[in-house]
Chains A and B, each alone.
Chain A
Amino acid sequence: MNSFYKKNGPVIATFFLVAIIFWLIFLIVIPQLYMLDLSFRPNLPPLLRGGPDDVYTLTHYKHFLYGSETSKDAYNYVDIGVFLDTIITAVLVTVINLCFCYPIAFYIAKLATPNTARLLVLALVIPFWINELLRSFAIRILFAGEGVINNILLELGLITTAVNFIALDIALYTGLTYAYILLMIFPLYNALETLDTNQLEAAKDLGSSTVRTHWRIVIPHAKAGIASGCTMVFMLTAGALATPVVLSSPNTYWFTQLIYQWFNMNDNWSRGSAYSIILLVVSVTFVLLMMRLFKVTIGEVVR
């Protein structure tokens, strides 16, 4: 701390300290703690809050697992189903995203000439100047019954009737995968850029095929970048709201939509908080488990 102050001078150092503490505590820690607290309180009208009925309770968590008191089912199949659906879809989207972004990141990092690399990065970044909602709607238009893709396929004679991409969840997967490609490409690019190109040439000189070179040399080197990208994509996909709303079909439901309902339509902020905490805890646990499985530490991911 002392060396930090000496290096940057008192004014700047104090500013940094205050800014970071403010940001961490007031914008992240306190809201989360408040939400955690709220999730254990019953949903009382404003007048009764703070009164004798305001005790800690697990009723919201119970509702997630077992449903309401009036339901005949053993468990809250609807809510749990939506939750699992969301998590599994988020995992699949992360994997697809990785498969899609890895070659692109590798090409930009290792194979493209500087000019081509710059053009590619530009082409990737510019669409993101348009906000997420508009992009999601654009994808919806592409995949609609009378949309561009159906028209092209019909013209080419590959199909005879329009395909309902939205009901098949293809639109959803496409939209979610595309939404976060930058978050996957840049950590991958950073990790791949530090790889010594001579190693790739040495592997080739020793007879290695492209697949083996990637499997044995490139991917182990880029492990931290892959972990970092996957973590961010997974967390953001599981917690996405706008894109799933725009691109979902009547039979798909995103867990965040449930949370939104509790907050805005049912005015049950406590229950909404409980559901948010559930999503947060499970997502974080899942990510930590995956990191353990692939032997990546937090330090590496953050870098």
Chain B
Amino acid sequence: MSAEVELQNVSIAFGNFYAAKNVNVKIGAGEFFSFLGPSGCGKTTLLRAVSGFLEPSQGKVLIDGQDMSGIGPNKRPTSLIFQNLALFPLMSVADNIAFSLEVRGHDKTSRRKRADELLDLVALNGQGDKKVHELSGGQKQRVAIARALAVEPKVLLLDEPLSALDLKLRQKMRTELRAIQQRVGITFIYITHDQGEALTMSDRVGVMNDGELEQVGTCYDVYEAPCTPFVATFVGENNAFFGKVEKVEGGKVKVQTGGSSFIGQAGLGLDNKNYKFKAGDEVIMFVRPEAISLKGNSKKAQNSFSAEVKTIEFEGNLKNIFLRSAEDVDIRFSVPSSSDTSGMEPSKNVSLSFSQDNAVVLPTGALALD
């Protein structure tokens, strides 16, 4: 049984400081939804409002259409998994998991039975009698999930649960979490600052910045069609060309940047319609690193420019090449490590190009800080 969660005009203020400003989103039943954003953007605050530990200063939280104002966390059909897991150190694993059942007065045998079932679900068979401190980080994670699922909530809320784990474990847990969600079928609301996590696990992503929900969409939407410069630079890497609109023709926008002119597509706004630009508008043209190639390598690339190679980074499967264009713009693009980069050494000038279809033009705004 899962529930849909809706936030209507939710604002949360602490004195004069607004942690969340006018957030509107509808999360479907059984959906894996992630709130993605940098530290301090308000995503934890939103989660606490959904779970019942905070009341919104304005707006409403609705679960399955029912207004949750005044209903405490123990009475909502939600379960919260804390960032530091908050497992009970003086109880065994099975007691931790069965705690919510103990609270509801179930007898010892049925509690143990349910705990064992949940241990199977999270692949921790037979670990029930261990103490919490005897488990590894990933195992503790799974105990926390089992504990939250014991009362069969309709919505599971996860507060950056993987942030304390090392990379390999995080990647493994991503797949497992997604699998558990599919198996159990309930709504997962997940918050993280790691866009890799958000993109690989979620059905939809909500990108937050400074208390505002900048964009909500599927992983593809948020990556390929960002609505704001913040989303364009926070999700994945992006090259930003600041400039002015020269002219608009058909669906294409010609942007004057530095000494060159590039042609790109107008981006989609929040209303799902392309931005309408006119000559003289301040804009930013965004080109993903993977869309840039050496001139001559791709026939479709109509925009070209030259740049000086600054550094080359080896990241295992990719080589990241950092350059500075003639107009003093920092560019980066990546190639598979196996490809031939013989022409590219630091302080060498190269010619690069990209296609019009891969350039997104958005109204100017603040970028995500590195």
Contacts and interface: CB of A to CB of B under 8 A. Distances in A.
B279 to A, nearest CB: 55
Contact of A221 (B73, B82, B90, B102): B90
A199 B103 CA distance: 15
Tell me what chain A mostly uses at the interface: helix, strand, loop, or mixed. Answer: helix
A118 B52 CA distance: 29
Nearest to B91: A216
Given A206-B79, A206-B99, A207-B74, A201 B53 contact: yes
Interface in B20-75: 51-53, 72-74
Contacts of B18: none
Nearest to B79: A205
A151 B338 CA distance: 95
Contacts of A220: 90
Contacts, number: 58
B78 to A, nearest CB: 8
Contact of B74 (A199, A205, A216): A205
Given A201-B53, A217-B88, A220-B90, A208 B82 contact: no
A300 to B, nearest CB: 13
A204 interface: yes
A204 B103 CA distance: 10
B74 A204 contact: yes
B70 to A, nearest CB: 15
B151 A206 contact: yes
Contacts of B84: 196, 198
Contacts of B86: 196, 198-199, 201-202
A203 interface: yes
Given A201-B53, A201-B82, A206 B74 contact: yes
Q: Which of A204, A205, A216 has the most CB of B within 10 A?
A: A205
Contacts of B288: none
What is the interface residue range for chain B against chain A?
A: 20 to 34
A209 interface: yes
Interface string A213-224: 000110011000
A212 interface: yes
Interface residues of A, number: 17
Given A201-B53, A202-B80, A208 B74 contact: yes
A212 B99 CA distance: 10
B90 A207 contact: no
B72 A203 contact: no
A204 B51 CA distance: 11
Interface string B176-214: 000000000000000000000000000000000000000
A181 B131 CA distance: 35
Nearest to B100: A206
B99 A205 contact: no
B90 A202 contact: no
Contact of A207 (B51, B88, B91, B103): B103
B82 A212 contact: no
A208 B99 CA distance: 8
Contacts of B79: 205-206
A102 to B, nearest CB: 18
Contacts of A217: 88, 90
Nearest to B76: A205
Contacts of B78: 205
Nearest to A201: B53
A203 B99 contact: yes
A196 B83 CA distance: 12
B88 A204 contact: no
Contact of B72 (A202, A204, A212): A204
Contacts of A204: 72-74
A205 B90 contact: no
Interface string B323-361: 000000000000000000000000000000000000000
Given A196-B86, A199-B88, A221-B90, A205 B103 contact: no
Given A201-B73, A202-B82, A207 B53 contact: no
12 contacts: A201-B82, A203-B88, A205-B51, A205-B52, A205-B74, A206-B74, A206-B103, A206-B150, A207-B104, A208-B99, A209-B103, A216-B91
Interface of B: 51-53, 72-74, 78-80, 82, 84, 86-88, 90-91, 99-100, 102-104, 147-148, 150-151
Closest 5 pairs (CB-CB, A-B)? A198-B86, A206-B100, A202-B86, A207-B103, A207-B74
Given A204-B74, A205-B79, 5 more contacts: A201-B86, A205-B73, A206-B99, A207-B103, A212-B103
